[in-house]
Amino acid sequence: MNVAILGAGMMGTAIATPIADRGHAVRLVGTPLDGAQVDAMRRTGEHPGLGARLPEAVLPELAPSVADAIGAADAIVLGVSSAGIGWAADVLARHLSRPVPIAMVTKGLQHDGALRILPDVLGSRLPEAVRAAPVAIGGPCIAGELARRRPSAVVFAGRDPRACRRLADAFRGPCYRVATSDDPAGVCTSSALKNAYATAVGIGAGLHELEGGIPGSVAMHNFEAAVFAQALVEMTRLAVVLGGRPETAAGLAGAGDLFVTCQGGRSSRLGRLLGLGRSLADAQREMSTPDCPVTLEGVEIAAVVVRDLPPALAPEDLPLLHRLHAVLFEGAAPASVFECP
C-alpha cells in the first residue's frame, strides 16, 4: 500500500513508523509551514521535536510534491494541526481523482455553521466524486513513544465501518494496537478536549514547583485528580451534545488520552509553566525551538468551545473549561482552575 501522510509535525511524523513497519511505502509531506522540520529530517534522519530516527522507508518531502504523493496514494493520513485543516481540504479537493481512505490524527473541533468534529468538516469540503468518510484516530498515543515503538493502543472511529476496518487492518502491528468504533463524534470530541483539560491538570505540577516542591508522593496530586475527574464529566457532556455516546469519554479516546497527555505531553507542560507564573505567550516561546515551533491545540480548543458553546449547554455545564479559558486569555490566577464543590 502507498500511504501519503500530510503534515510533518510530531504526530504526523511519528505515525509513519508503525505504518512503515507494516511494509507500506510512506511519503511524509510537510505543509508549507513544515519546511524546517523536513529539512532537518533530510539532513539528520530525525524529526527535531522527536529525537527518534525515521524508518528508512519513510521519505520526507516538501509541500510542492503533495500532488504527486496524493495521486499515488492508496490511503492518506492527515497529520496537520487543526489550523491546517483548510490547507489539507484544499489540496485534497484539487488533487484527489478518486475516493481514497483518509485517516486523521488531527485533533480539534471547528465552528462551521455549528460546532462540528473535524472529519465532518473535512468531508463536507471534498468534492462529492472523491468524498470518503474520514476515519478519526484517538487514544493514548504520545508521539515520542510511538516513534520509538513503545506499545500504544488507539481507536479508529468513523461513519463508514468498512473504511475503519480497512485502515485498522492495514496499520495495526505488535506495538500499535487498533480498535474500531462507530462513534466518531465521541472519539473526536474527547480527543480534542483532552488537550485543554491536560493543561488544567498540569497547572498543579507548576504550583507545587512554585512553592519549592519537588516531584514525589506528596505534591499536588489531590488537585490534579480532582481536575482530571471534572474533565471527564465535561468531556462526556459535550460529546453527548455533539452526538457521541457517554461511554466513549471513559475509554481510550477520553480517559486514556487525557491520562497519557498529563504524563508529559505539550499540553501538560504548558499547564506546568502556567502554574509557575508564565504568561501564555512566554510559555509558548519557552516550549518552541527555531526548528520546531510548538502547536498548542488545547489553547485553540478552549477558545473555540467557549466562544461557540452549543445552545444545549450553558457555561455552568463546563465550569472547568471556562475557568481554564480565564487563565489562558483573561489573566486569572492559575490556581483558580481548582474549585471545591
| Residues tagged active-site | 194
Decide if 137 contacts 108 (C-beta within 8 A): no
3 state SS of 219: coil
Decide if 35 contacts 62 (C-beta within 8 A): yes
- Residue among 60, 41, 111 nearest 82 (CA): 111
What does the alpha-carbon distance between residue 107 and residue 188 come to, in Å, rounded to a whole number?
7
Beta bridge partners of 157: 136, 181
Helix locations, the chain, DSSP H: 10-14, 16-21, 35-44, 66-72, 85-95, 118-124, 143-147, 161-171, 184-210, 221-241, 257-262, 266-275, 280-287, 297-307, 319-330
What does the alpha-carbon distance between residue 121 and residue 124 come to, in Å, rounded to a whole number?
5
Decide if 55 contacts 23 (C-beta within 8 A): no
Distance of CA 212 to the CA centre of its chain: 32
